[in-house]
Structure 1
Amino acid sequence: MPAFDLISLAILWSIALLALIQTLNATGAIKAAISGIVTVIIFLMAIFFSFLKVEGYGTFLSRELSPSAIIAANIAANEAMAKERAADSAKVSFDAKPATIELSSSAKKEALNSVERYVSHAEKIADEALDLAAQIGDIDALPNDISEPNREKAESKALAIRNSTAKVNGKATTLFHPRSLSELHQQLIRATESLRLAGYALHAYTTLENAEDRKTQFEQSKRQAVSAAKAITLYKTALGNVIVK
């Protein structure tokens, strides 16, 4: 940063001249002596740094260390490094070809096994979900004059169904599936989610006191159970068409 150095040097010489003027204007022997000593020190510092500046400036402007030479050297070094990395990359790719072929074969076998495992587990979840949907569909509306023991019994049964629908939905959500079957798996998740909501609506129906609210929840549980059953049936049909090659 030569510009900053020149400015600093100019400031230092300005201070030296001001010290000299202060010394010339000093009154009294003690003040004159102190001012003279300070002025001499500042002048020596200015001379010393001026000498360093002259020497360093010549070096800075030398051809080997000029900015254009430094930039050119950096560009050449970067190009050499890029060529070296490209050569190393090509060598690694060539050497790794046999291992890559072997890994691809192993991955293909693992993918086939993964599809088979998914189909097996997904079928069990779908069958469990269909069974729960049928249970909800078989439940009749509670009579208005139902006794408290019978109401509690109905509520306990509805709670068990609600917990089961939530569990089957959790199984579908966490079931590992191959990427190739992602869209198909989303059908199972949506269907079991609808079933879970049907279970919650059924349980709410058995706990509510207001007749209108109870009717709304009961009808909702029936609709969602039917919708879930249809979606799961379509899902099972699509799952049966999955061909493991």
Structure 2
Amino acid sequence: MNQQIADIALMMVLPLGITFTAILMSVSADTRTQKMLGVFLSILIVAMDCIFYFAKNSFITYNCDGGLLLSFASLFFFAIISFIRFEDRAAKAGNIFLAFFMLSAFMGIAYWDRPTFIPTSDYTAAELAAMNSQYQDYIASFENGEGGKILPNKSRTSAKAASSVASAQKNREDGSLSRMESYLVDAETVIKRMTDIINAIDNFEPLASNISEAEREQRSSQALAINNNAVALNKKVLGLFHPHESSEAHTELIQASECVRLAAYALYSYTLQENPEQQLILYRQSRDQIAQMKIYLKRFWNATEVLQSNNQQQTEQ
């Protein structure tokens, strides 16, 4: 839970807080020139936010490091706005120092610390998205009570993902693998994880009517681990890099992962519920979400088949 709060703070609260503060400072400037310059710089900050939130893994990697990088860049422009806004020499000197410090921090993360800034990274956006998924798996291991350890099935998944990335890189060097094919390799890894979670839900035996408190606590811990895996999977799908032409297909994949998350959450709520009628409702909700997930996955595969067919026809022409 603490890690999820930190994720929200670094990826949502801090960047957006800086953006709204910069906009308010711009519109409250004294002169028209200050307002115009402030508005221009505020538009740049909003543009960076839009790229980070709506074009995930296309410019800055969509993770906590990317949120920190976005915050440093936003604070740089915020310091420039403050320099323009205030007349006091001490305030101007302080804001120049802040701008220099934020620019140095931005350059340090972008070039020397982590491959967060895609245009300056040695990795492609698809490879960075794969790194994001492994990072999220590592964080999920703490949420599952594994203390940073990776379960055997996760090891196989991570090994398969690493193998897929290495194979994709080799094929890209040969010029034989398109962006769409690379995306499908990543999508297959995600769907494999979906299948593992669904199998875990299917194999979760119903609670006995005379279950003891100790056994209920044990079963609820198992359901919580499944729920945490589903939450991590949903984050991974949201940050998965995909070509522009596959946006509609990717939406179906996101819906499928959302159904898995809701199914796992209903299962966890089922283990905490003592009322038999409410238990039945939650259990049915879990099963209904699984059925809905299969529908979205079918739509996803149909959409990707159409895209592959169109790409093949264009290549032949």
Task: Report the TM-score when normalising by structure 2.
Answer: 0.40
Unaligned runs of 5+ in 2: 1-173
Q: What SS does structure 2 have at the residue aligned with 1:214?
A: helix
In 1: Cα distance, 2:250 partner to 2:180 partner: 12
Is the CA contact (8 Å cut-off) linking 2:246 and 2:304 kept in structure 1?
no
Measure how far apart 1:226 and its partner are: 2.2
Q: What's 2:287 paired with?
A: 222
User: Sequence identity of aligned pairs in percent?
Assistant: 35
Q: What's 1:165 paired with?
A: 230
Larger gyration radius, structure 1 or structure 2: 1
Q: What SS does structure 2 have at the residue aligned with 1:149?
A: helix
Is the CA contact (8 Å cut-off) linking 1:130 and 1:229 kept in structure 2?
no
> Is 2:246 aligned against 1:181?
yes
Measure how far apart 1:236 and its partner are: 3.5
Unaligned runs of 5+ in 1: 1-108
Deviation beyond 4 Å, 4+ runs, structure 1? none
Match of 1:200 among 248, 262, 265: 265
CA 145–132 in structure 1, closer or farther in 2 if over 3 Å, else same: same
| Higher RCO (C-alpha 8 Å, min separation 6) | 1
Is the CA contact (8 Å cut-off) linking 2:249 and 2:299 kept in structure 1?
no
Is the CA contact (8 Å cut-off) linking 1:126 and 1:236 kept in structure 2?
no
Output the amino acid matched with 1:132. Answer: I
Q: What's 2:256 paired with?
A: 191
In 2: Cα distance, 1:210 partner to 1:126 partner: 34
Which is worse superposed, 205-214 or 166-175?
A: 205-214
Aligned length: 136
In 1: Cα distance, 2:223 partner to 2:298 partner: 23
Q: What's 1:115 paired with?
A: 180
| Structure with greater helix share of residues | 1
In 2: Cα distance, 1:162 partner to 1:210 partner: 21
CA 116–134 in structure 1, closer or farther in 2 if over 3 Å, else same: same
Is the CA contact (8 Å cut-off) linking 1:133 and 1:228 kept in structure 2?
no
Output the amino acid matched with 1:228. Answer: M
Root-mean-square deviation over aligned CA pairs? 2.2
Output the amino acid matched with 2:273. Answer: L
CA 134–231 in structure 1, closer or farther in 2 if over 3 Å, else same: farther
Is the CA contact (8 Å cut-off) linking 1:194 and 1:228 kept in structure 2?
yes
